[in-house]
Structure 1
Amino acid sequence: MNAVHGQQTPMTGSFLSAKPDRLFGREDEWATLIAFASDPHAGTRLGAVVGRPRQGKTLLLESVAQATGGFYFCGQEATEAESLRRLGEEYARYRQVAPPRHWRDWKEAVDDLLALGDSRPLPVIIDSFPDLVAASPALTSIVHGVLRRSEHSPKENRARLILGGATAPVMNRLFAPSSPLDAVSGLKLDIPPLDFRKAAQLWGFDDLELAFLVYAVVGGTPAYRHDYVGGDVPADRNDFDAWVCRTVLNPRTPLFREARHLVDEETGHQNPGACHSVLAALAAGCTTQGEIAAFLGQQLSDATRALSVLREHGLLLREHDGLRPALVHHRPTDQLLAFDHVVARPRRTALERGAAEAVWSEARNAFNSHVVGPQFAQTCRDWVVHFAPPGSFGADQLTASYGSLGDPSSPTGLEAEVVVRKRDAHKSGALLSVGLARWQTGMDVRHLQQLHSILEALAAQEEDVGRVRLALYGASGFSPELYAAQARDEVMLVDLERLYRDP
C-alpha cells in the first residue's frame, strides 16, 4: 500500500520528482532523499538526516514520506514504554489495522518496521532519533544488529531506514567515521540554513540592500519567515527599522527569545551562562581563544570548555586565519545569535518594558559595525566559495577566510576580510586573492593601496604572491578610478548585484 496513515498515493516517477510547494528550496536535498528512498536495488539501507532546529528538516522528511507512501514517526522525550506505545499506534494507523500486540522491546519494533519494505522500496523515517536514544541507549546497537542480520536474510527487503535528528553530539557520535551505524550507512545528509541568495527569495525581496539587512538579522532559517514573526515582512527599506522593532525586539513575538532558547536547547543546558558570555565576547569583536578568555576574565582552559560546547552543538565555527594559519578565529553560525548578543541581550530589561524604538535608536550604530559589517564580509566569502563564476580565482576548489598581519607601522595591523586560497586538505593552499569588504563605506583608490600594502608585507614574509588577484567587495559603490583599474584588470570589484545575481 502506497500510503501515509493509509492514504492511497500513486507511485509514478513524475509524482516522486514533484517537490511540494510548501517546502521552499531544498531541491538538492529533496532529490537526494527521493532517490535514496525509492532505490529499487535489493537490500536494507540506512540513512541519516541531520540539521539544526528550524531549518525545515521535519517538513522535508514528512514530505518525503508523503510523496513515497513511506512511514514517518517523530520521537520525543519520553520513557521507552511510552515511545514504543506511540510508535505502535502510528504503525497500526499506517497499515490500517487494529493496534498490534505491545512490542516488548525495540528489537521487535525495528523488525516489524523494516518488514514494511519486503514488497517494494519504502522509507521508514524515524525523526528526533536522539530523543529515543536518550531513553533507550541500546537502540543504536539494536538498529545495527537488525541491519547486519538483514544482510544475510533470504528475503530481499528494500526498507530505507532514515534516522533524523538535530546536529548535536549525539548524531555526530552515532554516525562518526568508524562507528557501527556509519559502517552500515548509505547516506548522511545535512540540512543547513538557506544561503543568502535563497533567503532573499524566501522573503520575496527584490531590493538587495533590504534582503541583506534582513539576512544579517535572521539569516537563512526558514521558520523565521512565517511563524516566528507572524508573517511580518518589511514593506521596503524605509520599513526595516520599524520591522526590527515590531519583530525581533518585540517581547510578544517568539523571535524575541529565540536566541536564548537556541543556546539552551542546543547545548542541553550545559553551562548556558558561559556559552552566552562567549557569544557576547564574539559580539564585542573578540575572536581568538585568548581574546575570549580575557573578555570572560577566565583561564584559557575555562574558555576552551565553553567554546567546545558551542562548537559541538553547531553554534560556533573555528577557522584558520587566511594570512596567519596558526591563528584560529571563532564566529557564530547563526546570524540571530550575533544580532541578539550585540543588540538585544545587553538591553533586555528596556526591551521587556516595551522600549524597542529607543533601544534600536541607541543600538543602530553597533548593529552596523558589529553585525552588518562582519556579516557582509562573511557573505562575500560565501560568494567566493559557492557562487563566483568559474575561473574567477584561478582554481575550482577554494577556501575563503579573514586574514590579518602584524604591522609595526599600524596599531591595528593589516587586515583583509576575504583571503582566498586553493583548498588543500593537508596545509594552507596557494594564495589566490586578497580582498577588502566594506558595507557602508564607498571604496576608492586608498582601499586598493591597502591591498598593495598587504601584498608587500606578504612578499617580505616570502609568501608567493605571483598569482594573487586583488578584490574589493563593496555595498556602497566604487570610485571612477577603481572602475578604470578594473578595466585594466588590476582589481576585481564585487557589489551587491554581483553577490546576489551573478550566474
Structure 2
Amino acid sequence: MHKPERVLARDAEWSALAQFVEHPDNRMRLGVVSGRRRVGKSFLLRALAEVYGGLYVTAVAEEGVVPARRRFAGDIARYAGIGPELVADAGWESLLTTAIDLTARRNGLLVIDELPYWMAHSPELPGLLQLLYDQSQAGLGQERGRVIVCGSAISVMNELLSGTKALRGRASIDLRLQPFDLPTMARHWGVDDPAVAVRLHSVLGGAPGYRNLANVPAPRTLAELDGWVAATVLDPSQALFSGSEAEYLLREDPRFTGSSLHYAIINAVAQGATSPAKIGGLLEQPRGSLTRPIEALAGAGFLRYDHDPLWERRPVITVADPIVRFHNLIAVPQRDLVDTSRSAEAWRRAQPTFTARILGPHFEDCARAWLRAQDAGAGQVTATVVNDASGRAKHEIDVIALDKRSGRAVVTLIGEAKATITKRGVADLDRLDRLRALLAEQGHDTSSATLAVFSLEGFHADLKATADRRDDVILVDLPTLLK
C-alpha cells in the first residue's frame, strides 16, 4: 500500500511497516514501535491502520484498569459494527483475542498505542500477547494476526524485548522512530530561509509535534525568529516553553519520575560534562555512583554516547534532545528574566551562549547527518581528535568519514564545520590538508580522502577559486545542507 501524502518523509519506516503487515505468513506477527514524545509515532501508525483497514487504539495515562478495558471494548465494538455491551465486561485476554481476530479477517492490523500506560495497571499484557503469539505459532488460533505495540517511554519499550521478558524473540520488527532531519523539519514548518531553519532545528530538534504547540506563526526571517523564541520556548505561559517540555519528557518515563539526580545529570551534561568523571566533578559525587543512572538515561534516550571509532576512546556523552539542551543552557541561567516576562531580554543576553554552545555543535551534527544522507560509502561518519606529537597539540576534526579495518582507518572525507558569522577561507582548507597529513603519518589511509568545508555564512572568493582547481575539495553551504 502506498504511503498517504499527508505523511511527510518516513519512506523507509513506512516500507518496513507495510512489509510487516503484508508478510505472507499466516501466523500471528508482532511489531514494536517506539520513540520520544512528539516524534510522530501516533500520526504514522494512525495512517497505517487507516490504509490497511486496521484497528487503532490508544491507552490513556492514569486511567484505571476497568475504564481502560471498557474503552478498548468500545473501540472494538465500533470497529466491528456491534453494540458495545457485547464485549463491555470482557477481560484483557478476551479483548485482545477478539481484536486480533477481527482485524485478521480484514487483512488489517491491531495497533495499541502508548502500551506502557496500560502496563502500569495491567503488567500481564505482554504475557498475554506472548500467549496468543505462541498459540498462533503452534497452529492453535490467531491466524494472520498483525499486532503493533507502541510507546513513548523508551526504557519500558526496550525492556519488552530484553532478557527474559515475555516478548523477547517474538517481535519481527523493532522500529525506533527518529525526529525529522534538518531539510524535512524545514519543509514541515514551511521555513524557506536556511538560516532560520538551522536555528529553529537547533532549538527544537526535528520532533514534528512541536509545530502544533506553537501559539505564534513559524518565523520566516532571523528578525522574526528572535520574537518567536521569546514568545514560545522562553515564555512560561506557553505549552512550548522549554522548561515545561524538558520536565514533561523526563516524567514521561516511569524510571525518572521526580528524580532530582537525573535532572542534575542532564544539566551537568548540558553544561559540558562529557564523561562520568566530569559529571561527578560538577555534582560533587563519586563517578562510580553515577554509572547506573547515566546508563539508564542513555538507554531511555535522554543522553547520547558518541563513539570515536578512530581511537576507540571512551565515548563522549551529550544531551540527546535539543529542547532539553536549550532549556539547561538558555532558560535556566536566565530564569529571573524569563519568570518576570522579560523573555526578549533573556534571549538577547543568551546570544553568545546560544551561538557557541548550541548552534555551533548543532551545525556540526547537521553536517554529519548531511554526509550520511549522501551515501558516501563510508562505514561511519563521526567527529574525532588527532594528536600532533611534534606540536604537542590536539586537533578536533568536526566531520570524518571512515572505515575501520584491523586497527587502521580508510578515511574518505575530512571536514570542518563552523557556525561562525564570517565566511570561511583558504586557511580552513590549509588546516584540513595538515590534518590529512597527520592521519597519514599515524598509519591511516587518506590517499582518497576528500576535504570538505561546511559553512554557515558561505565562502571567501579565494577558497572558492582553490576548490574549483582541486578535485579533492568540496564546499557545503547552508542551502546545500537543506537540499
Q: TM-score, normalised to structure 1's length?
A: 0.87
Q: Equivalent of 2:200, from 214, 238, 242?
A: 214
Matches within 5 A, 1:83-232: 83-98=68-83, 99-103=85-89, 105-153=91-139, 157-166=143-152, 168-176=154-162, 180-226=166-212, 228-232=213-217
**Which residue in the other structure is 1:475 paired with?**
456
**CA 1:180 to 1:438, structure 2 compared with 1: closer, same or farther past 3 Å?**
same
**CA 1:91 to 1:489, structure 2 compared with 1: closer, same or farther past 3 Å?**
same
- Verify: 1:463 aligned to 2:463, yes or no: no
Contact 1:267–1:313 (CA under 8 A) maintained in structure 2:
no
- Verify: 1:328 aligned to 2:315, yes or no: yes
1:66: Cα distance to partner? 2.4
**Which residue in the other structure is 1:44 paired with?**
28
Matches within 5 A, 1:392-431: 392=376, 396-407=377-388, 413-422=394-403, 429-431=409-411
More displaced, 401-410 or 305-314?
401-410
Q: AA paired with 1:340?
A: H
Instruction: Provide Cα deviations, 1:401-459, integer angstroms capped at 9, x if missing partner.
Output: 121234578797311111211277x9775332222111114222222232233334434
DSSP 3-state at the match of 1:181: coil
1:260: Cα distance to partner? 2.3
**Which residue in the other structure is 1:343 paired with?**
330
**Which residue in the other structure is 2:9 paired with?**
25
1:338: Cα distance to partner? 1.5
Contact 2:403–2:409 (CA under 8 A) maintained in structure 1:
yes
More displaced, 413-422 or 230-239?
230-239
**Which residue in the other structure is 1:306 paired with?**
293
DSSP 3-state at the match of 1:346: coil
Q: AA paired with 1:415?
A: E
More displaced, 375-384 or 65-74?
65-74
Contact 1:263–1:272 (CA under 8 A) maintained in structure 2:
no
Instruction: Provide Cα deviations, 1:252-295, integer angstroms capped at 9, x if missing partner.
Output: 21111212221232364356433333333333333233222222
- Verify: 1:367 aligned to 2:351, yes or no: no
CA RMSD in angstroms comes to 2.6
**Which residue in the other structure is 2:430 paired with?**
449
Contact 1:114–1:161 (CA under 8 A) maintained in structure 2:
yes
DSSP 3-state at the match of 1:494: strand
DSSP 3-state at the match of 1:141: helix
Matches within 5 A, 1:208-287: 208-226=194-212, 228-256=213-241, 257-266=244-253, 268-270=255-257, 272-287=259-274
Task: Give the Cα separation in 2 of the matches to 1:56 and 1:169.
Answer: 18
Instruction: Provide Cα deviations, 1:181-238, integer angstroms capped at 9, x if missing partner.
Output: 2422222222211111100101112211111111111111111112x11252113222
**Which residue in the other structure is 1:488 paired with?**
470
Task: Give the Cα separation in 2 of the matches to 1:242 and 1:397.
Answer: 41
Contact 1:41–1:158 (CA under 8 A) maintained in structure 2:
yes
Q: TM-score, normalised to structure 2's length?
A: 0.90
Contact 1:421–1:428 (CA under 8 A) maintained in structure 2:
no
Q: Equivalent of 1:69, from 35, 53, 76?
A: 53
- Verify: 1:292 aligned to 2:273, yes or no: no
Q: AA paired with 1:216?
A: S
Q: Equivalent of 1:315, from 298, 302, 305?
A: 302
Q: AA paired with 1:171?
A: M
Task: Give the Cα separation in 2 of the matches to 1:109 and 1:429.
Answer: 55
Instruction: Provide Cα deviations, 1:105-138, integer angstroms capped at 9, x if missing partner.
Output: 3222222222214533121111111222222222
1:368: Cα distance to partner? 0.5
Contact 1:259–1:340 (CA under 8 A) maintained in structure 2:
yes
Q: AA paired with 1:480?
A: A
Instruction: Provide Cα deviations, 1:329-376, integer angstroms capped at 9, x if missing partner.
Output: 112221111211111122223201101111111101100000000000
**CA 1:461 to 1:429, structure 2 compared with 1: closer, same or farther past 3 Å?**
closer
1:243: Cα distance to partner? 1.2
Instruction: Provide Cα deviations, 1:275-317, integer angstroms capped at 9, x if missing partner.
Output: 3333333333332332222222221123323321221111221
Task: Give the Cα separation in 1 of the matches to 2:285 and 2:423.
Answer: 40
1:38: Cα distance to partner? 4.5
Point out where structure 1 has 5 or more consecutive residues left out of the alignment: 1-15
Instruction: Provide Cα deviations, 1:16-38, integer angstroms capped at 9, x if missing partner.
Output: 525152x4333333343344334
Q: AA paired with 2:233?
A: V
Task: Give the Cα separation in 2 of the matches to 1:413 and 1:100.
Answer: 72
Question: Percent identity over the alignment?
Answer: 28
**CA 1:164 to 1:427, structure 2 compared with 1: closer, same or farther past 3 Å?**
farther
**Which residue in the other structure is 1:13 paired with?**
none
**CA 1:302 to 1:143, structure 2 compared with 1: closer, same or farther past 3 Å?**
same
DSSP 3-state at the match of 1:266: coil
